[in-house]
Amino acid sequence: MPSFYHLIVYVPIAHADVIRTTLAESGAGNIGNYDGCSFSVRGTGRFRPLKGAHPAIGSIGKIEEVEEERIEALVTEDKLKETLRGTGHSHPPDGQ
């Protein structure tokens, strides 16, 4: 049986479906005879952009709160790099 990593991604709710799709397409969430398996919980994310950041939401030096979704999926070691790369490209970047 392969070893699994437990991957957790926090994302604004509007981007949650994009992240779930990316996870599934990269092979995360493949368990036995199932694919695309994940678990999600909604909550409030808090952060303060520091000097040099280009926040998609909020402004430098100010605490920001946003509704986010925590998405969890299992991923095998052989799919981990591909999954992280795809998730990084799909996650809303700074300044967008």
What integer pLDDT is reported at residue 88 of this predicted model? Answer: 77
Report if residue 26 sits inside a domain.
yes
Report if residue 58 sits inside a domain.
yes
Residue length of the chain: 96
Total of domains in the chain: 1
| Residues whose CB is less than 8 angstroms from the CB of residue 73 and which lie 6 or more positions away in sequence, other chains included | 7, 23, 28, 29, 37, 38, 39
The CATH number linked to 71 is: 3.30.70.120
What integer pLDDT is reported at residue 6 of this predicted model? Answer: 96
Q: Which residues of the chain have pLDDT under 50?
A: 95-96
Segments forming the whole domain that contains residue 53: 4-90
Are the CB atoms for 31 and 79 separated by under 8 Å?
no
What integer pLDDT is reported at residue 93 of this predicted model? Answer: 60
Report if residue 95 sits inside a domain.
no
Nearest to 15 by CA among 66, 74, 49: 66
Report if residue 57 sits inside a domain.
yes
What integer pLDDT is reported at residue 96 of this predicted model? Answer: 44
| Calpha distance 31→4 (Å, rounded) | 10
